[in-house]
């Protein structure tokens, strides 16, 4: 086999980066919260506890059983684990799993008004947005207000386009779900 020096150098650099990431993340992951920490958290916090990062119906039920007051269907913007499912396809199965017991919010991939409507139609009580609010760094409070106003305007337009007067008129029949969504919701993604 011919060893290519530039590849070897690249692997070594990659290996060094991986080791650095392990060193930085390792201790934090060891201290990561467990389901069994929920009671401890609830007692000390005293306020409503919202659990973020739910991606399966089983974990949604676990969150309810552990005393969550609401949950956020989220893959943390794909920043934590590649291969985590997109959030919209798994939303409805999670809403069904908690059966109205607690509120469900959707996070991830919300970029425009129609994304907000899709999430609400599939049972989310609200959505969360991340990168859009980086406009805070660019335009300060006015930048954030501008982004929120833009989203609100897009929501109004999308509502008119689907012939609904209010988000309360929406249900799952407003969303055309590709077949892949059923696969994602069944948890058989990898």
What is the binding site for ligand FMN (CB under 6 A)? 52, 74, 76-77, 79, 107-110, 129-131
Nearest Cα residue to 127 out of 113, 111, 114, 116: 116
The radius of gyration computed from the CA coordinates of the chain, to the nearest angstrom, equals 20
Residue whose C-beta lies closest to ligand FMN: 130
Check if 146 is active-site. Answer: no
Strands (E), the chain: 50-54, 70-73, 103-107, 126-128
Residue 60 and residue 91 in contact, taking contact as beta carbons nearer than 8 Å: no
The span from the CA of 63 to the CA of 60, in Å, is 5
Q: Which residue lies nearer to ligand FMN by CB, 15 or 26?
A: 26
Catalytic choice (41, 52, 76, 148): 76
| Alpha-carbon gap, residue 137 to 158, rounded angstroms | 28
* Cβ 12 to ligand FMN shortest distance, Å: 29
- Residue 9 or 81 with smaller CB distance to ligand FMN: 81
Residue 154 CB, shortest distance to ligand FMN, in Å, is 15
Nearer to ligand FMN, 114 or 164 (CB): 114
Smallest gap from residue 116 Cβ to ligand FMN (A): 12
Instruction: Point out the residues that are catalytic.
Output: 76
């Amino acid at each position: 086999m011919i060893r290519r020096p530039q590849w070897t150098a690249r692997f070594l650099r990659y290996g060094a980066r991986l080791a650095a990431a392990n060193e930085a993340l390792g201790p934090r992951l060891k201290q990561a919260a467990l389901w069994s920490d929920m009671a401890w958290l609830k007692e000390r916090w005293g306020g409503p506890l919202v659990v973020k990062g739910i991606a399966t119906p089983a974990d949604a039920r676990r969150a309810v059983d552990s005393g969550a007051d609401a949950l956020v269907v989220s893959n943390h913007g794909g920043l934590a684990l590649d291969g985590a499912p997109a959030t919209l396809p798994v939303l409805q199965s999670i809403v069904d799993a908690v059966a109205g017991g607690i509120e469900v919010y959707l996070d991830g991939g919300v970029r425009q008004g129609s994304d907000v409507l899709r999430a609400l139609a599939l049972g989310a009580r609200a959505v969360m947005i991340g990168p859009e609010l980086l406009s805070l760094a660019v335009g300060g409070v006015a930048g954030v207000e501008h982004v929120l106003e833009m989203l609100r305007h897009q929501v109004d337009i999308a509502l008119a386009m689907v012939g609904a007067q209010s988000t309360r008129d929406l249900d799952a029949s407003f969303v055309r779900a590709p077949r892949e969504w059923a696969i994602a919701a069944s948890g058989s993604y990898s």
